[in-house]
Amino acid sequence: MTLPKNIASLAIDAQPTFCEGGGLGVAGGHAIMPKINQIRSQTEKGYWTQDWHPAGHSSFASTHGRAPFTTASMINGQIVADGTPGAYTQKLWTDHGIQGTAEAELHPDLVVRAGDMVVKKGTNPLIDSYSCVFENDKVTHPRFPNGNSVTDQLRTDGIDTVVVSGIALDVCVRDGACDLRDEGFRVVVVLDATAAITPEGQAATLDLFKKKGVEVTTLDQLASYFNPPSVTAAPRGPVNDP
């Protein structure tokens, strides 16, 4: 461990389902797993999120016979006509993160330590869940097995700064990082330990981070980011009287 005890690692959805060959594969997903391990090795506390959908989840295009990556107006997980009062817009995804499948497990290359905590999200078939802080209804909290929400657990553990990595930068990492910042935590995203769905999504996410006060660094700068080298003043020579 090299970082202070108030700083924790949080890896978002580091699962094969979001890597190349997975149900919702993102380019570069497999390659970031060693970097996530390096981040975890530098903190005393580690937390992980896991997309954990039941089969037939309302966010799946296949559930509704629709094309993936299109959008639909929904109420309680059911598609309704556009403009229906109370409806929300849902992006329809390929099937992914299905409970009990191998690709929904945490990535096999990850080093999950004894005492680390995993929060499963997206378990309600009627509500999608990007953020680790709120389901997409922005009311319901994903919870650890002990019943605590992510923010409750972080505060209980004395954490005020979260180092975030994972997939996808422009969806779940984005929403989780911004929600944690809104909840008063210092949030630092390690950019090269994330993978984005699109370059445009990454650019938009980085713009949003600036507005929200979410900080961004790279893995090789992480230790010095929190422990910047002290600047020593140059010794002064003798002062000569005129």
Among all residues, which ones are annotated catalytic? 13, 121, 172
Distance CA 90, CA 57 (A): 12
Distance CA 188, CA 181 (A): 10
Secondary structure (3-state) at 149: strand
Token couple for 63: 């559930």
Angstrom distances, CA of residue 31 to CA of 35, 53, 101, 167 = 8, 24, 21, 11
Specify the length of the chain in residues.
Answer: 242
Name the pairing type of β-strands 88-91 and 71-75.
antiparallel
Full 3-state SS string of 79-129 = ECCCCCCCCEEEECECCCCECCCHHHCCCCCCCCCCCCEEEEECCCCCCCC
Token couple for 66: 């629709």
